[in-house]
Amino acid sequence: MNMIDIGSTRNYFLVHVFCILSILAFASILISVSILFIPQHVIHAETIEQQKARLERELSKIEEEIRQQELYLSQQKQQTGSIQRDIDIIRAQIKQKKLEIEKKNKLISKLGQEISQKNATINNLLSELEREQASLARILRNAHTLEEYTFTEFLASSKTVSAMYEDLDNYQHLQDLLHDSYLKITGLKEKTTEEKKTLEEKKNSESNVKYTLEQDKKTVEQKEGEKNQLLTVSKTKEKTYEQILSERKIAAAKIRAALFELRGQAGISFGDAYQFAKAAGSKTGVRPAYILAILTQESSLGKNVGTCNRPGDALTWKEIMPGPTSGSWRDDQTVYLDIMNRLGIKPDGQPLSCPIMIGGRQSGWGGAMGPSQFIPTTWKRYESRIAGALGVTIPNPWNPSHAIMATALYVGDLGAGAKTYTSEREAACKYYSGRGCSDPSVRNAFYGDSVMRHATNIQAQIDVLESV
């Protein structure tokens, strides 16, 4: 090998080392950050496999007890309508919920063990990376020694030509070791990323279980309150069973009579809105309470929504919607006219949402239609599916039933059909802004949180309706 070849090899070697060091720095940061967010669990005398086996046995036992309680509930509901029957049923419901809570606690423990395993795996990866770094340091020191050895030094030394070639062979061997180290570090980086992704999935599962656990605890508290009320009635004779039943019917009637605010409508009763949401839920797999929560959130966001394009309003559809010459990515005007024409409704006079006004000047576009506040181009995209789900020829954005079905289809496409806390919250954020709750470029998590609170409250109202 001549001096030019040695110089070229040296330059290639330095570039190669720089790339490896960059990857090492990134991998170290990635693993260190991952470790910070991994929950630490106490290591018990049992092995992980023994703990898993025990948890699975306990889960199986609890599931069998739940099935027995469900059978008992079914039998109880066939008995007479006395106060004692109601007390027995509520006791069974409380026991069933407590068993479900115990089951979910076991599941959380099981997930905790799996998260702990992931913690150990990433710690092992970190140790392996440290060993690889130490090995690389030794290789670099040896390589540096060979690089500093010049041809002039060779002539001045007592080494033979064969010894020089042996040194060059060693140099090539070091390069091979560097290449192997590069591949190994790349593999460690990929495996660490994969383990981190799996860990995030486990954490989401744990969050979903904890959320449902809290809901079950609230249900138990409610049932215990009902049981205590009935027991008091039974002991003191202050109230009869008929009075309690009458109170529950009155509560249901109040809920049915409560106006459920919907954009673009004077209002429909909660009972009617619930029936529409149940129909939409059966078609889409989305919870009725969640569908109504989205619409509740939409109503509370703006009391002035739908105050454009009415008779006498200053702004009409021509000013608030983008058209073919507006330079927008969508042409709402043409689609709006087509919808109005097919519905047989005059485009002038139908209430539409107004654009946001900043300093007396229009910012963005308005023109959203009906209770679900769909813009015309979005409504057009869902129109055939709404028609198919409801068996109508031309869906109407201002018809509450059609609007609720449109909302259910939309959030279903966004993942709300999974019916978990995280999936419903994420779908709500996307419904509001088109992006997930954790997207750093937009503030929308407040919307998802508010929708989930509405869903909890609405579910409680639905439970009263269904219990009568």
Most confident of 147-151, 210-214, 229-233, 303-307: 210-214
22: Cβ contacts below 8 Å, ≥ 6 apart: none
Task: Return the structure tokens found at 253.
Answer: 């009637």
Average pLDDT value over all residues in the chain: 72
pLDDT at 413 over 80: yes
Most confident of 52-56, 162-166, 231-235, 268-272: 268-272
Closest CA to 216 of 108, 110, 93, 111: 93
Closest CA to 278 of 459, 445, 79: 459
Mean pLDDT, residues 126-154: 60
Task: Calculate what percentage of the chain has a pLDDT beyond 70.
Answer: 54
pLDDT score of 385? 97
Mean pLDDT, residues 240-261: 51
What is the rounded distance in angstroms from the CA atom of residue 369 to the CA atom of residue 403?
9
Q: Please state whether 394 falls in left (phi above 0), alpha (psi between -120 and 50) or beta.
A: beta
pLDDT at 276 over 70: yes
CB 392 within 8 A of CB 403: no
pLDDT score of 194? 78
Mean pLDDT, residues 451-455: 94
What is the rounded distance in angstroms from the CA atom of residue 366 to the CA atom of residue 103?
49
pLDDT score of 451? 95
pLDDT score of 291? 95
How does DSSP classify residue 40? P
pLDDT score of 76? 46
Q: Give the Cβ contact number of residue 30 at 10 Å.
A: 16
> Which structural domains are found in the chain, ordered by start?
3-236 (1.20.1270), 253-305+368-467 (1.10.530.10)
Mean pLDDT, residues 80-94: 66
Mean pLDDT, residues 260-284: 75
155 vs 337 pLDDT, higher one: 337
CB 77 within 8 A of CB 92: no
Report, in angstroms and rounded to the nearest whole number, the Rg of the chain calculated over CA atoms.
34
Q: What is the pLDDT of residues 323-333, one digit of tens each?
A: 999 989 999 99
289 vs 197 pLDDT, higher one: 289
pLDDT score of 270? 77
pLDDT at 141 over 70: no
Residue matched to tokens 């709006």 = 336
Give the model's confidence band at 285: pLDDT under 50 very low, under 70 low, under 90 confident, else very high.
very high
What is the rounded distance in angstroms from the CA atom of residue 427 to the CA atom of residue 423?
6
Mean pLDDT, residues 118-130: 69
Q: What is the pLDDT of residues 9-49, one digit of tens each?
A: 444 444 444 444 444 444 443 334 343 333 444 334 566 56
pLDDT score of 416? 96
Please give the distance of CA 52 from its chain centroid, rounded to a whole number: 27
pLDDT score of 118? 66
What is the pairing mode between strands 356-358 and 361-363? antiparallel
Mean pLDDT, residues 416-439: 93
374 vs 219 pLDDT, higher one: 374
What is the rounded distance in angstroms from the CA atom of residue 302 to the CA atom of residue 391?
32
Closest CA to 1 of 158, 170, 143, 138: 170
What is the rounded distance in angstroms from the CA atom of residue 225 to the CA atom of residue 441?
45
Most confident of 200-214, 248-262, 395-409: 395-409
8 vs 127 pLDDT, higher one: 127
Closest CA to 255 of 100, 461, 49: 461
pLDDT at 109 over 80: no
pLDDT score of 93? 72
Residue matched to tokens 């470790």 = 35
97 vs 245 pLDDT, higher one: 97
